[in-house]
Structure 1
Amino acid sequence: MTINPTRTGRTRLVGCTAAAAAVVLLASACGGGGTGASASPKNFDYLSVTENTTIKKTLTTLSTTSCTDQNKALPLKVDTVPQSGLDQKLQLLAGQNALPVQFAAGNAPALTTQLFGAGNVANLEDELTKLGVFDQLQPAAVSTIKALYQNNLAVLPYEYNIEGIFYNKKVFEANGIAVPGTWDELVAAAAKLQGAGVQPFAASGQQGWPLTRLVSGYLYRSLGPGAMNAVANGTAKLTDPEYVKAAQQVAELGKKGYFGQGVGSIDYDTAMNQFLGGKAAMLYMGSWALANIADPKQDTVGAENVGFMPFPAVAGGKGAVDQYPSNVGLPVAMNAKSFDAKTGDWVKCIAQNYGSVALKDQGTISGFKVNTPVENANAVTGQIRDTIGTSKESVLWFEALFSTKATTVSQQNAAPLVTGAISPEKFMQLVQDALAQ
């Protein structure tokens, strides 16, 4: 998975790390005095999240194939942390001057931006240009990264994703459902599936973000691609009626039971398994799910029976269905303080080979160019690759421009929104209040 990155809900910081993010980035913030990252690291250390195995697998493959020389000089070493604890871990390590050579970026772009400003994250546009491989990045991926990190290339795009709704072709056909083109058609399809005893959607309420992305999807289609920028720059508020309406629409899906039982306790893997096991007809997700779809051990529905559709149009809305939410999945930052010649050799090799290996072995699309021709493993992968190649405009996701605190509040309250524990008005008020702090 990715998250994005695939992004999960955050844990609240406790004890020393409960200090403001800017404070914990200081060397003295949380017990300082650590040995720190050496200017000449002994390993190509990578701190990943437990939930994402794709990047680790691809880097491991590179270490034994295209990048064997680089691995001999600086051996790959992977450590993991649950994504819910990633932000706290990064802040602790930054405070101790002990960040690894490369690490999964913070759940909220704001954290990585703060780390970048504090000199903990390498400027990869400069580094890749020096290495002569900046042209190995897909322009669309560079654009997305810079939109997230204040015009800085702060992360490597090990994944590049567009988001939409994956659906079970067989279930749709068996129930006489055409691919919905509008929100009303999507709701009607969900009602028909529910009536036939089929759970319409799989979603992780425990993660939160798969639900909040439905809110932003509706906002982008109803208000246009500038919907969330307006909130970020203060010209609109989430408590405005047109914004609350989006939350109301998603809450209605939950009220009608379209997410199944116990959505608040469903984690990412369970939601994915519900869809790939044929227990739910639809799954809002990013194209990082192609790795799961391509794995016959996970996908008992069969890749040939999985389709992909854009978030549907909203009647009278200002947005367009070809404005796909896009992200760089689980982006990976590099430690500026340990970026030496051996690290550079690794990064150069990654830039030249990662795209091909990830697509061939994992069925995933990255933000690196594919330099070795790879046949599409399945039709849905080909469809999404073509869509990325022809897409002219992208949008971000609900929390993309939020502070870390607002992101936490949003994702922790997503499940209560769809279970009816809090109202749409309350949900939006809580997030808006967090944005104002």
Structure 2
Amino acid sequence: MKKKILSTLLSVAMVAALLAGCGNGSTKETSKETQTNTPSTTESEAATDSTDQGQAATQDPQTEKTIKILSIWAEDNDNGVLINEICKKYQAEMNPNFNWEYELVSSDDLKQKIATLTASNDLPDIFVYESGKPIVDLIDADKIVNISEVLEQYGCADSMNPSAVSLLSTLSGTDDIYDLPLGLNVEGFWYNKALFEQAGVKVPTTWEEFEDALAKLNDAGIQPLAAGGSDKWGVTRLINAYLVRSAGPDAMTKAANGEAKYTDEAYVAAAQKIQDWADKGYFGQGVTTVDMNTAGSMLMTGKAAIFYNGSWFTSNLNDDSANLAGNDGIGFFNVPVVDEKISAGDSYSMNCGNILCFSKEKYDDATGWFIKYFVENMGNTAMKLQGTVKGYNYDTASSNVSGYTQMVLDNINSAKSAFTWYEATMGSEVSTVAQENVQTLLTGDMSAEEYMQSIQDAFDLSN
């Protein structure tokens, strides 16, 4: 596997296709259901054995096959709907001998489940996982399929959104991609237009303007920021926002590669920025007890002016019963710039949400044909059913695109590059410490120096 240095500039070709729902659905119960047509009794030989010199046949051979799928979404929820719809369509349109078993696991238990299955060499044919650092070990251990090779073999690489391919490749640090996207999200600040007008605040483009806006809102008796401190990642995103703009889009990558330390001045300053906001009361009372859903509600009901989240938040904004600000009451702006030479204003935070991986042990020609159908049809399926873009090209219009969705798409049309989120380059041990200790940073029980030192300590222990 060829490795490459994590890029700090990601391709954003077809940028209007970046908005998608975030795959964060989960359940605490584990269940299993098998979709059946004709019971599967055999599996085809591996693709390398059943094709001529690695080249696939020109027509689906309709091989008898049952694929096992491990997911964090129920079949009637979020991406679970799309995965099952693709399976149904493939069975009906291409291969009547195809069947699938669908197993549900809590998102909280996903990593442990995959670790256990990996150890027992029993990964399912297809499984939901997390992009970036979590799949690197699976790639290095040669446990998952090289998707780029499959796309080339089956002649369907042009069905992928180039931005999604670039992002997935960059996150795993590989020349090829080893997973398929289930979303392509952008992140930034959502704001309540009425509260901005009330405080006489304009949408900021520079960090200095942003700080001025926070102060004006606070002086006007308006809570400037809502943050899901109990969910933790909403706060670490804020640390990352300032760090990227003040130290560069590759700051976290440098620390993860050992080229810099988390205790360096710029990193400490980013943590200090968030603690200063908490000290000034910008997050209101009890920020560590507020989850992301509540924080979003505070924005939509006029209890807070600004909320950091991703493009998936449009699903909340489109709920008239929840969004009391109305269909034009909430706006969006990118992370303000500190210095254009360090991090440009046309650079956005992006992620692919959860992704799909394929077991190399279970892979065969029948799976290859299913992957071909999946990437060629997911774009249109997602757009028709949910009005979302999942990282695949599509040629169908959607009647489901809302004004909020269009607003975000219009807002990011000038995007030229991207940066990843705070934990993207962290190992699991480091990521856990970074999130667990961020609450004590907010409360002041841990200084900015101590917070960053705890992350560096975790990094040193894991390397």
TM-score by length of 2: 0.78
Please point out which of 153, 175, 195 is paired with 1:130: 153
Please point out which of 277, 283, 293 is paired with 1:269: 293
1:173 is matched with which residue? 197
In the aligned structure 2, how far is the partner of 1:7 from the partner of 1:321? 31
Which stretch shows the higher mean deviation, 373-382 or 224-233?
A: 373-382
Read off the aligned partner of 2:166 and give its amino acid letter.
Answer: S
In the aligned structure 2, how far is the partner of 1:243 from the partner of 1:193? 27
In the aligned structure 2, how far is the partner of 1:184 from the partner of 1:394? 22
**8 Å contact from structure 2 (residues 384, 397) kept in 1:** no
Which stretch shows the higher mean deviation, 129-138 or 196-205?
A: 196-205
**8 Å contact from structure 2 (residues 20, 185) kept in 1:** no
Matched residues, percent identical?
34
2:420 is matched with which residue? 396
TM-score by length of 1: 0.82
Q: For 1:31-50, list aligned pairs within 5 A.
A: 42-48=66-72
Larger of the two Rg values belongs to structure:
2
1:192 is matched with which residue? 216
Q: Does 1:323 align with 2:325?
A: no
2:125 is matched with which residue? 101
Q: Does 1:382 align with 2:406?
A: yes
Q: Does 1:415 align with 2:439?
A: yes
1:29 is matched with which residue? none
In the aligned structure 2, how far is the partner of 1:269 from the partner of 1:199? 17
Q: How many residues align?
A: 406
Alpha-carbon distance change, 379 to 256 in structure 1, aligned in 2, over 3 angstroms? same
Read off the aligned partner of 2:215 and give its amino acid letter.
Answer: A
Q: For 1:115-264, list aligned pairs within 5 A.
A: 115-151=138-174, 152-264=176-288
Please point out which of 314, 318, 329 is paired with 2:338: 314
Map Cα deviations across residues 187-219 of structure 1 (whole Å, 9 max, x no partner).
332333344444332322233222111111111
Q: Does 1:57 align with 2:101?
A: no
Please point out which of 113, 130, 134 is paired with 1:111: 134
How far does residue 247 in structure 1 lie from its aligned partner after superposition? 0.8
In the aligned structure 2, how far is the partner of 1:170 from the partner of 1:89? 46
Which stretch shows the higher mean deviation, 153-162 or 192-201?
A: 192-201
Secondary structure of 1:304's partner?
coil
In the aligned structure 2, how far is the partner of 1:121 from the partner of 1:436? 28
Structure 1 portions without partners, runs of 5+:
9-37
Alpha-carbon distance change, 384 to 220 in structure 1, aligned in 2, over 3 angstroms? same
**8 Å contact from structure 1 (residues 287, 365) kept in 2:** no
1:432 is matched with which residue? 456
In the aligned structure 1, how far is the partner of 2:295 from the partner of 2:90? 35
Which stretch shows the higher mean deviation, 265-274 or 136-145?
A: 265-274
Map Cα deviations across residues 146-166 of structure 1 (whole Å, 9 max, x no partner).
111121312111101121111
In the aligned structure 2, how far is the partner of 1:44 from the partner of 1:436? 38
**8 Å contact from structure 2 (residues 387, 399) kept in 1:** no
Please point out which of 317, 338, 359 is paired with 1:335: 359
Q: For 1:11-50, list aligned pairs within 5 A.
A: 42-48=66-72
Alpha-carbon distance change, 391 to 95 in structure 1, aligned in 2, over 3 angstroms? same
Which stretch shows the higher mean deviation, 250-259 or 299-308?
A: 299-308
**8 Å contact from structure 1 (residues 204, 267) kept in 2:** yes
In the aligned structure 2, how far is the partner of 1:324 from the partner of 1:183? 15
In the aligned structure 1, how far is the partner of 2:220 from the partner of 2:101? 49
1:367 is matched with which residue? 391
In the aligned structure 1, how far is the partner of 2:404 from the partner of 2:24? 19
Alpha-carbon distance change, 344 to 409 in structure 1, aligned in 2, over 3 angstroms? same
Alpha-carbon distance change, 67 to 266 in structure 1, aligned in 2, over 3 angstroms? farther
How far does residue 70 in structure 1 lie from its aligned partner after superposition? 6.0
Map Cα deviations across residues 46-81 of structure 1 (whole Å, 9 max, x no partner).
32268x942113324444557744696444554443
Map Cα deviations across residues 385-427 of structure 1 (whole Å, 9 max, x no partner).
3455542211112221111111111111122212222111111
**8 Å contact from structure 2 (residues 90, 370) kept in 1:** no
Q: How well do the aligned residues superpose, as a CA RMSD in angstroms? A: 3.1
Structure 2 portions without partners, runs of 5+:
1-18, 27-44, 47-63
In the aligned structure 1, how far is the partner of 2:344 from the partner of 2:95? 45
